[in-house]
Structure 1
Amino acid sequence: MRIDFLGLEAFLGIANWGSFNAAAAHLNLSQTALSHRLKKLEDDLGVALLARSTRKVTLTAAGAELLPTAQRLIEEMTRSLDILRTAGRDRQEQFAIGCLPTIAKHHLPRVLRDFARLQPGVGVKVFDNSASEIVERVRSGEAEFGVTIASTGRWDLEVTPLIKEPFVLVCPSAHPLAGRSSVGWSELEGVPLIRISAQTGNRLLIDDALGGRRERMIWKYEVQHVGTAIGMVQAGVGLTVVPRLGIDLADDPGIAAVPLKNPSVVRSIGLLARREQPLTPAAGALARLLTASLRAEH
């Protein structure tokens, strides 16, 4: 038999307050509704729990036997619901996402600013990691979702395509190539280049696009982060190739970004989430803002 918690609540209210009037007021019910809940409980149990008189309400023997058990059940249920409610509130107050460093540096801050206006009480933890690290954080549930290279083949993850992002050549603004509308890879043969570590996922895209031609490139330096490569370009150490969202010409003075051709290199950016695991409301709101913002810029 199912447990009639509403009936038990009515029974406890009357037993504790000693009258239908007081119990109804405490439970914010009408006396009719309160009486109906109690009668249903008594009918289900097949016994009378309360003895009513014109002056007072008293427990029957069955009611006295049920009282401590009913109190324990309601207290345990209330405690369990409070724990769940607190846990749910904590999850809403802060959640985590993964985001490629190039997008996290130049694009995510504006989106988070808008998100803070909509949900001022919610904090966001950002894992600005490599593509492979973001996959693992989302898969494990550590991050609600990730904005990363859309290349995962995991059965338990789902990717929503967002944008196609081209790679560009980054050179000093005074460099002969800086004013060009585009630059072919053949023009970069013999030029000292700065490459980004293979762990980021970008290097593999470039190598695949170049094929055998990559052996003719002089990759003189290798770094772990796009920001480091751009700093080296500003210092005149060499040129680099990075995703377009990895640079902001207003924030990075003294450099130019030139489209590449023959071949052009493009990466697909997607929103990665656990399959059949809906995002929490706050995370869903941020995901929609990010999606709209990225697509609006492209």
Structure 2
Amino acid sequence: MSYDLTDLKVFVAVAEEGNVSRGAERCHLAPSSASLRVKNLEDSVGVTLLSRHPRGVALTAAGQVLVEHAKRCLAQLDQMRADLLPFTEGMREHVTVFANNNAISSHLPDDLARFFAAFPGVRITLEERLSHDIIGAVVAGRADVGVVALESEHPALRFVPYRQDQLVLLAPVGHPLAEQSRISFRQCLCQPFISLQPGAALHTFLMNHASALDGRLDVRVQVSGYRAIARLVSSGAGIGVVPRTAIEASDEGKVAVIELIEPWSQRNLHVCVPRNPAEKNLYRDKLVDMLCQPTSDA
């Protein structure tokens, strides 16, 4: 394929404007140059992307597919340039943090707010990953800092205690399970679950533990966050597993909170960083120091 980024930019501009001339103007090109670039793109991919008519142009079905991909590619490139900006200015004011869902949904927001208050010029890339993926990313240098629910250590990393949490079962008030104070995960598997979406760390974690018991989660509804799980559980749609720190005062009286007896329900979060980092990063070190400071609610 012989098209380039400018071809994609021109195509997106023409598609959004619905007009070759206006799209060309957005890209500071002559209409003939823009038209030629769109034609080159069509020849390269082998399909017609725009239907031409007297009042302008419209996307074909293939054009609609390509324009969505092109927008994502261009947005990712813009983000890449933004992430590289601190380096081009001669400053290492960027930290990449990989963390599990529990940390991102509960502890990290407030802690990062404190960090930004102290270091407003620093930029952080925060991504959700499973704990074992986070460890591999920090070892490989794809992440500067990891926040994991520690299950096994790695000799190349230093692990520092961060927070303690606990996975608990939520059940609707009046549900048969709501009468219990503690329960095994196996006892829950016959019930319909409200779960996070596929790919979420907790969803994968629970699916794996259900499989280890020769069972499966009967997932009735999948949602994007813990608050949605709590609301659906309170409505009677099913049961769900969430970190205790995700439960809010407004949930009191609406859901029953039941302890899980499994040892894995205790979530000891740790911050991990390389023992011998390949390069210095002042703000990585300051972030780790701040995350691991004792707090009144830790």
Task: Provide TM-score, normalisation by structure 1.
Answer: 0.54
The equivalent residue for 2:248 is 249
Q: Is 1:259 aligned to 2:251, yes or no?
A: no
C-alpha separation in 2, matches of 1:134 and 1:251: 33
Shift in CA distance, 97/264, structure 1 to aligned 2, threshold 3 Å: closer
DSSP-derived class of the 2:129 partner: coil
Is 2:160 aligned against 1:147? no
1:129 match = 129
Quote the residue 1:107 is aligned against.
Answer: 107
Give CA-to-partner distance per residue, 1:97-117, whole Å, 9 cap, x none: 112122212221111221122
Once residues 206 and 266 of structure 2 are traced to their aligned partners in structure 1, the CA distance between those partners, rounded to angstroms, is 8
Q: CA deviation at 1:287?
A: 1.7
> What is aligned with 2:92?
91
- 3-state SS of 2:142 partner: coil
**Offset of 1:229 from its aligned partner?**
4.2
1:291–1:191 distance in 2 versus 1, CA, 3 Å: same
Task: Please state whether the residue corresponding to 1:109 is helix, strand or coil.
Answer: helix
Q: What residue in structure 2 maps to residue 193 of structure 1?
A: 193
SS for the counterpart of 1:90 is coil
Q: Distance in 1 between matches of 2:205 and 2:138?
A: 22
Q: Which runs of 5+ in 2 are unaligned?
A: 1-85
Structure 1 distance, partners of 2:180, 2:241, is 15
State how far apart, in whole Å, the 2-side matches of 1:224 and 1:279 are. Answer: 40
CA spacing shift, 1:207–1:141, aligned 2, 3 Å:
closer
Q: Once the 2 structures are TM-superposed, how far is the Cα of residue 237 of structure 1 from its aligned partner?
A: 2.2
- Structure 2 residue aligned with 1:291: 292
The residue that corresponds to 2:238 in the other structure is 238
Give the 3-state SS of the residue equivalent to 2:260 in structure 1: strand
The answer (yes or no) to whether the contact 1:166–1:244 under 8 Å persists in 2 is yes
Find the aligned partners of 1:219 and 1:86 in 2 and give their Cα distance. 48
- Structure-2 separation of matches of 1:97 and 1:189: 34
Instruction: Report if the CA contact (8 A) 2:189-2:218 is conserved.
Output: no
CA, structure 1 residues 239+201, in 2 after alignment: closer, same or farther (shift >3 Å)? closer
Q: Which amino acid aligns with 2:103?
A: I
- Quick check: 1:206–1:265 contact (8 Å CA) kept in 2? no
Whether the 8 Å CA contact 1:148–1:272 is kept in 2: the answer is yes
Structure 1 residues without counterparts, runs of 5 or longer: 1-84
Distance in 1 between residues matched to 2:128 and 2:200, nearest whole Å: 13
Check 1:90–1:203 CA distance in 2 against 1; reply closer, same or farther (3 A cut): same
CA–CA distance in 2 between the matches of 1:156 and 1:263? 26
* Counterpart for residue 171 of structure 1: 171
CA distance in 2, matches of 1:103, 1:225: 15
Q: Is the 8 A contact 2:101 2:202 kept in 1?
A: no
User: Normalising by the residue count of structure 2, what TM-score does the alignment of the two structures yield?
Assistant: 0.54
The residue type equivalent to 1:113 in the other structure is A
Matched AA of 1:107? H
